[in-house]
Amino acid sequence: MEFQHIDLNQTHIRLTTDLKNNNLEKYILNLRKELEHYITKNKDFQLSLEPVNHDEENLSEIIKRMYTASSYCDVGPMACVAGCISEMSLDYLISKKSEYSIIENGGDIAIVNNKKAVCGIYSNNPILGNKIGFELKARKTPLGICTSSGKIGHSISFGYADSVTVLSKKASVADGLATKIANEAVGQNSEDKVSNALEASENYKDLFEGVLIISQDNVGSIGKLPKIVETEEFNVKM
């Protein structure tokens, strides 16, 4: 198994893969160049907190996927960027015949695993800490696992949950939905925050496999989640 760290400006990848000499860093560099070039011409794409209308043709794949995920999740395109890079990186590795690859991009994960894996959940919750994770059964199709928090990380969030984790077939969509649902984690107490976030989740049930919401001493979930197990650290491991 190969382990690799890729740091390119704001993109910080931790990679576990069964592929040697995968050239993923060069692929991600090209994705970033396409994204940065587009942003210089379209500030709305970069700054909007809502979906952006466009009528352009011949867009690069990363821009098209970010527009699509944004429209599905009712967030700005950049809310989907980390998950989209993870998603496209995984697609690239699968095209090279990978059967086991995990791309973690600042907490936004895309994974295909032909054997069991454990994915840690980083919530920094005072009760749960960072010692729980999802036990993922072997699967042949990609899965996105993305987390948004109102307390940690650099992403914009208008809610106050410790963490909102979304599982979806597409990491770009999981990323956008984690932001959208986390924004609704508001209320007088942690119970209200979880309840309001769960209510918001109901509007997007066709887009995700499961959602886990953690806020202080309250936890809520919707959909079908993998088995939650104790794990020693925030990590993705075999």
Instruction: Tell me what the pLDDT averaged over the chain comes to.
Output: 89
Angle between helices 190-201 and 171-183 (to 10 degrees): 140
Domain 2-237 has CATH 3.40.50.12160: no
Is residue 59's pLDDT more than 70? yes
pLDDT of residue 138: 97
The reported pTM is 0.91
pLDDT of residue 157: 54
**27-41, 121-135, 138-152, 192-206, range with the lowest pLDDT:** 121-135
Mean pLDDT of 48-71: 94
Q: Where are the beta strands (DSSP E) in the chain?
A: 2-8, 11-17, 100-105, 108-113, 117-120, 132-136, 139-148, 163-168, 210-215, 218-223, 227-230, 236-237
